[in-house]
Structure 1
Amino acid sequence: MPSSPTPPYPQTPRGTVRETLFGETIADPYRWLENDVRTDPQVRDWVTVQSKLAADYLSTLPGRAAIERRMKTLWDYERFGLPERAGKRIFYQRNTGLQNQSPLYVQEGAAGTPRLLIDPNAWAKDGATALAEWKASDDGKRLVYAVQDGGTDWRTLKVLDVATGAVQSDDVQWAKFTGLAWAKDGAGFFYSRFPAPEGGATFQSLNLNQAVWYHAIGTPQSADRQMFATPDRPKLNHVAEVTEDGRWLLVRSSEGTDARFELTLIDLAAPKAAPRTLVRGLENSWALVGSVGQTFYFLTDLAAPRQRIVAIDVEAATPTPREIVPEGEAKLEEATIAGDRLVLSYLRDAKSEVRLATLDGRAAGTVALPGIGTVMLGEGTHADPTLFYSYGSYAVPTSIHTLDAATGRDSVFRAPKVAFDPAAFTVEQRFYASKDGTRVPMFVIRRKDATGPAPTILYGYGGFDISLTPGFSPAVLQWVEMGGTYVVANLRGGGEYGNAWHDGGRLANKQNVFDDCIAAAEYLVAQGIASKDGLALSGRSNGGLLVGAVVNQRPDLFAAAIPGVGVMDMLRFDRFTAGRYWVDDYGDPSKEADFRVLRAYSPYHNIRAGKAYPAIMVATADTDDRVVPGHSFKYAAALQAADIGDKPHLIRIETRAGHGSGKPTDKVIEEYADLWAFVAKWTGLKVPE
């Protein structure tokens, strides 16, 4: 692909910050770009200039307007969220297609008429205020819901009367990373919050001292009762849930991103009862599957790296796990109770399988799925054998199913109609060898009539025990519809094969993730899937780090790269908001052994002058308080200052948006139109005008 003149980059002032860390002097000339764009005029001016530079360049790309038009058509299909039953009512979110936010509906039973309950599209002119988490009381009479403004992780909690739709006076601030759980009588709910940030550091200060609170309906937040806190261990997070019978409050505590929990039990039938530790030590994953009286069923990796089901009698003198469903060859990803059955969702080579078992662990059948896809289970109860689940794949939009676990009967509750023929596309799973011989899976999505190499986007993540499974995206379908190929590689560091797969790609093993990605790129070209000089690398968040690190190590492999909301400064990530949690996956920069590993691959610190880099479009957002935008700002400034060739190295900065959740549909479409037009130009994909 022939190059074009480098855009005239603005001069980014270089500071003089230099630090000596473990005997090495580290320059950080763009430290000032870590400052909040809302409060620092210099950062705000830099953002303004960089945004104009990117917008001007993007406006010149051929076919960009056509991409956006077609994407709007593909995005204009009815979408449904997983429903929740409460009393005789069913609640679920539904988007007619191009609504910026998905409204919440309620209906009386399966045959009832849907009624609009909450429409967040009326909350902000720019559509950037979203309905986040929500939970109905057990009787379905009240609903607590979270408001997310501009993409931030902070939440404001509100309550409404379901019968009338009237919003109550309740207003709860500073909730974040919270669960929502109603008391059995519906008189109040449990939630988690942090202390209010000090000194205008709302979007940058570290998150410490989270506690679980109880809010009684109709009272001010100042009257909320603290249920559980650990002031002697300020780094712990606490999320609470109430058992089906309403007796127990179960608090799950963690310190980082690893699924390593302590469990604390509070007897709600004895108001003055002291919290009681059920599981001590941050050693294993514990997820409550359901409860039948004093028997709690858990999904855990205790003595089972691919997870199993155990039961604990919580009123026993010494509560001890008892195996119900043993670990298998496939990873047990999700589980719930529906009536007298366990519904078990497994991952086999990153694809879903669903099995049924009795409460004592005997096999009770399987659920037939349409093909290669992903299942998400709704929340079941011991009182009802039916539950909702969702199914979707790369070429099949998500549908909602109702499963009767007692009979195995499966029916479609809601299914969308789309403006394309799913049969026109193919999804193929392949396996390739990484640098050390590890067998790694990938999904290849193409048009059925595709022949020969094609411009290809390779997407990866590789971290935090997160599995990349088949899921529908109109943006992906459009890239493929235009004649491109889209590939998702299941790199180590994810959760596709359990703990060993995760451990193989984190901490001192993080280089394995980059090696897996590089091997994937080489395989795609060698196999004639990706065209030579027509391969692009994409990833977001930890995947943005992946893109930055891999491009530094092998810039020759890629024609374009689009790192989104990435963690780019691996020596300072733990200084901001949720960054301290990530030491579980990355290591601690204040420890020399970890520092050496992090320094070796940190994207900001390892840009290789004198090498020809691909075209790069960095993407971030001004309200990202998960991975603060300073990461991307510093990385983009360093790219522009380096001698790395004449392809463009730009940054796209979204306003009134965050790490991704809650982003309005129109902004999502605009971003993908920009990115696809950019990648198409540099990979040689011909875009229809």
Structure 2
Amino acid sequence: MTKYYPLLLFISLFICPSSSLGNGIDYPLSNKSSVVDDYHGYLIKDPYRDLENLDSADTKLWIRNQNIFSQSFLKQINQQQEFKQILENIFDKESQSIPFRKKTKYFSWYNNGSWQQSKLFYSNNLNSIKTLLLDPNVLSKDGTISIGSVSISPNAELIAYSISDGGSDWKTWKIRNIDTKKDLPDTIKWSKFSGAEWAKDNSGFYYSRYSEPKTGDEYEELNRNQTLFFHSIGESQSNDKLIYERPDKPEWGWGTTVTEDGSYLLLSVSEGTDERNRIFYKDLRTENNSFIELIPELIGQFIFLGNIGSEFLFFTDFKAPKGTIISININNPQKTNWKTLVAEADDALTRVELLDNYILCQYLKDVSSEILLFNKKTFSKKKISFDKKGIISGITTTQDSDVFYFSFTNYIQPNEIYQYNATNDRINLLWKKQVPDYKPADYLSKQLFYPSKDGTLIPMYISYKKDINLDHNTPLLLYGYGGFDISILPNFRERYLAWMKMGGMVAVPNLRGGGEYGEEWHRQGMLDNKQNVFDDFIAAAEYLHGEKLSRPGRTVIEGRSNGGLLVGATMLQRPDLFGVALPGVGVMDMLRFNKFTIGWAWESDYGSPEDKQGFETLVQYSPYHNIEMGECYPPTLVTTSELDDRVVPSHSYKFTARLQEAQNCQNPILIRIETRAGHGAGTPRDKTINYISDVYGFAFHYLLQN
């Protein structure tokens, strides 16, 4: 039931501390206030608005008390230690990234299994001894300072690398000489959602930044008016050259590419998280010229692939929702002159890379990878000789070679790294992850399709240990996301293996809102269609229960970020269907998500509460606004992080406080708040293990009581 009230029927509230409804659990105090907002004539209560003040003494005390309270529950759970022992064993093995080449140097990340963060190494060929280049573990004792991204200069002599403190999206860029392993004095601050794109003469790189936030507001202040700069090596950041800004378009952001021939600078002009973008370019051979707007309107997604002189190649979904490849001659750029190089196929085109003699096209066929190679001259095509069912990812290559590298995985197959030569179709296994006490042959992962509420068939993978007896008592972990054109692909995850080792089954449906079947699949789960995502998730649970593979009391639902919203919404809509809920770093207040950091950018997928139609859709499913007083919700462990500046933690704080107040049974409502982490990226090894052990231990404990 939606909590909104016509203006004339509103009854004022009083300020008071919250208390749960006679459930016997004495939750920490959460102060209430009488805050009310007027949305299009509807008055909406927001009793826990004060928890949005992240730096207040009251909020800090609330965080401390909630963590102490939650740990008093978690430390008594035997399954927490069982999961931790399994995970410590699983993680105690080396891992490696796909190699990438620049000139004659090969770079890759490596972890021996005990390091908190992986280290970056390089070598002069794939088989030679590797030299350590970057070690983020020396930046902090607990591993909470991580390296975000790296960019190698064209001559392979310098590396720009970004540093994240505590998992924040804010990045500080440094530059290191690869041969001497010494950092230059250059330091670039207040960069966010930006890479480093080098000029071809190695003189510096392009990057984007925001204005320095007010002290104390670093993790809350709205991020608007991104600006593009060029940093010259050896200069102070204050001397960086402003390349482009649009104060009249505060929601625009920039992705930059310098063409391989060094002639052009391209801007991919984004607007929030809308996958559609504009394309501007500038001729770098001419001084002081302005950007030309090649694609000035949001008519589709355009990803620059490369150029042959004035002929620009793009991936696009313009008039091709599953994706196509086109060329545009910038000297004759009218749409009527655009040429189709690779036509739209039946499956979603998810990645394109230019090789020396081929165009590599990766397709997603019922959530499994397929790669086709198109000859650049004849456009004849061939499928690579690789027939394993799963996901190919992380493709790296260069445009001067027909050799590329990729990793392969699925839910029960640990990562394998391959080298492929497109000229002779020769494939070489470079590395294979070995997991202690694990044999893939002992596990089974299979895909099935089930009908959602409206009859749409939804794909889902289920994975489990072959020797368990699947029945209505099986502990079921149901994970979902469903949004922002993001495909949830079959990847091997240590956390899922731990769940299966404990005798459980993992189910991952590919909900609408993702990109598994192209843009149309995405649109069926966004804006006014968002309820489809929740219906798909609910239908997955109902289907598995109907097949006697589990039952409501033995089902835990998990999701993070947009998936945290999914869990929050579905546990409120169908509390009878789930035994435990694990909403992580979720977007829980759908009427105020656009007030903090980068939240405004999500309006492309969610809609805006400032728009009446958008409000009327959002308020129907906003988790914070749909909690029923006196309801019995399943045991719930909410998770968030104090330094999450992507989805600010006040979403989870407010949701938890209101849920604790409303709960009218013995099922605990807990929140676990990490103090030195962000939205998830860069989390060190030990914190990852402790997190998984807590949430899965909690889930397993309460499922087994049902």
Which amino acid counterpart does residue 406 of structure 1 have in structure 2? T
Q: 1:576 to 1:186 in 2, by over 3 A?
A: same
Partner residue of 1:375 out of 389, 392, 395? 392
Find the aligned partners of 2:229 and 2:699 in 1 and give their Cα distance.
47
- Paired position in structure 1 for 2:435: 418
Letter matched to residue 84 of structure 1: F
The aligned residue for residue 602 of structure 1 is 622
* 1:461/1:540 contact within 8 Å kept: yes
Q: 1:72 to 1:363 in 2, by over 3 A?
A: farther
Please list, as runs of the form range in 1=range in 2, the aligned pairs for 1:51-450 lying within 5 A after superposition.
51-316=67-332, 318=334, 320-359=337-376, 362-369=379-386, 371-419=388-436, 420-450=438-468
Which structure 2 residues correspond to residues 476-495 of structure 1 after superposition, within 5 A?
476-495=496-515
Counterpart code for 1:77: K
Give the 3 Å change call, closer, same or farther, for CA 671–62 of structure 1 in structure 2.
Answer: same
Secondary structure (helix, strand or coil) at the match of 2:341 reads strand
SS across alignment from 1:595: helix
The amino acid that maps onto 2:108 is Y
Letter in 1 for 2:154: D
In structure 1, the residue matched to 2:646 is 626
Q: CA deviation at 1:571?
A: 0.3
Distance 1:46 1:650 in 2: 13
Question: In the aligned structure 1, how far is the partner of 2:382 from the partner of 2:466?
Answer: 34
Q: Distance in 1 between matches of 2:378 and 2:698?
A: 52
Structure 1 residue 413 displacement after superposition:
2.6
Give CA deviations for 1:499-543 in whole Å, capped at 9, x if unaligned. 111111110011111111110010010111224510011000000
Report Cα offsets for 1:611-666 as digits up to 9, x if no partner. 32110000000000000000000000001000342200000001110000011111
**Given residue 356 of structure 1, which amino acid in structure 2 is its aligned partner?**
L
Amino acid at match of 1:580: W
* Secondary structure at 1:530 match in 2: coil
Say which SS state the counterpart of residue 397 (structure 2) adopts. Answer: coil
Q: In the alignment, does 2:691 pair up with 1:671?
A: yes
Distance 1:447 1:18, change over 3 A: same
User: Does 1:591 pair with 2:611?
Assistant: yes
SS of match in other structure, 1:546? helix
2:164 counterpart letter in structure 1: Q
Counterpart amino acid of residue 470 in structure 2: G
Aligned to 1:14: 32
Return the letter of the residue paired with 1:69: Q
Report the residue type matching 1:40 in the other structure: S
Q: CA deviation at 1:231?
A: 1.7
Verify the 8 A CA contact 2:483 2:512 in the aligned structure 1: yes
Indicate the RMSD between aligned Cα atoms, in angstroms.
Answer: 1.6
CA separation in 2, counterparts of 1:532 and 1:621? 29
- The residue correspondences of 1:494-643 to structure 2 (distance < 5 A) are 494-643=514-663
Residue aligned with 1:184, SS: coil
Shift in Å at residue 111 of structure 1? 2.9
The 3-state SS of whatever aligns with 1:283 is coil
Distance 1:423 1:317, change over 3 A: closer
- Call closer, same or farther: CA 1:63–1:382 in 2, change over 3 Å: closer
Q: What one-letter code is carried by the residue in structure 2 that aligns with 1:577?
A: T
Indicate the SS of the match to 1:281.
Answer: coil
State the Cα distance separating 1:601 from its structure 2 match.
0.4
Long gaps (5+) in structure 1: none
User: In structure 1, what residue type is equivalent to 2:401?
Assistant: D
2:47 aligned partner: 29
CA contact (8 A) 2:153 2:159 kept: yes
- CA distance in 1 between partners of 2:333 and 2:539 (Å): 53
Cα distance in 1 for residues equivalent to 2:610 and 2:418: 49
Fraction of identical pairs, as percent: 38
Question: How far off is 1:418 after superposition?
Answer: 1.5
User: Secondary structure, in 3 states, of the residue corresponding to 2:219?
Assistant: coil
Distance 1:485 1:342 in 2: 39
The worse-fitting range, judged by mean Cα deviation, of 604-613 and 436-445 is 604-613
**What is the number of equivalent residue pairs in this alignment?**
681
Cα deviations by residue, 1:50-96 (Å, 9 ceiling, x for unpaired): 00011111000023212101101111222222322111001111111
Matched AA of 2:106: I
Q: Cα deviations across residues 394-426 of structure 1 (Å, max 9, x unaligned)?
A: 111222222222222221233222211111111
Please name the residue that 2:16 is paired with: none
Deviation at 1:7, TM superposition (A): 3.8
1:369-394 CA-to-partner distances (Å, cap 9, x unmatched) read 35332112434333111122221111
CA distance in 1 between partners of 2:259 and 2:96 (Å): 27
Q: Which runs of 4+ in 1 moved over 4 A?
A: 317-320
**Cα distance in structure 2, aligned partners of 1:7 and 1:116:** 53
Structure 2 unpaired stretches of 5+: 1-22
Secondary structure of residue in 1 paired with 2:496: helix
AA aligned to 2:462 is: V
TM-score, length of structure 1 as denominator length: 0.96
Q: Is the 8 A contact 1:94 1:104 kept in 2?
A: yes
Cα contact 1:475–1:672 (8 A) shared by 2: yes
User: How far did residue 364 of structure 1 move?
Assistant: 2.8
- C-alpha separation between the residues in 2 aligned to 1:240 and 1:474? 35
CA contact (8 A) 1:240 1:250 kept: yes
Distance 1:263 1:43 in 2: 44
Residues 198, 224 of structure 1: alpha-carbon distance in 2 compared, 3 angstrom cutoff: same
Q: Tell me the amino acid that sits aligned with residue 145 of structure 1.
A: Y
Q: Which residue identity does 1:425 align to in structure 2? A: Y
Q: Tell whether the 8 Å contact from 2:629 to 2:661 is kept in structure 1 after alignment.
A: no
- Contact residue 135 and residue 143 of structure 1 kept, 8 A: yes
Cα distance in 1 for partners of 2:90, 2:49 equals 41
Q: CA deviation at 1:134?
A: 0.3
Distance change in 2, residues 1:334/1:140 (3 Å): same
Q: Distance in 2 between matches of 1:50 and 1:567?
A: 20
Q: Distance in 2 between matches of 1:659 and 1:361?
A: 46
The 3-state SS of whatever aligns with 1:493 is: coil
Structure-2-length-normalised TM-score: 0.94
1:303 is displaced (CA, Å) by: 1.0
Q: Is the 8 A contact 1:507 1:586 kept in 2?
A: yes
Q: Provide the rounded CA distance (Å) in 1 between the counterparts of 2:482 and 2:380.
A: 33
Q: Report the Cα distance in structure 1 between the residues aligned to 2:106 and 2:433, rounded to whole angstroms.
A: 19
Q: Deviations over 1:24-47 (max 9, x none)?
A: 2111010000112xx211100000
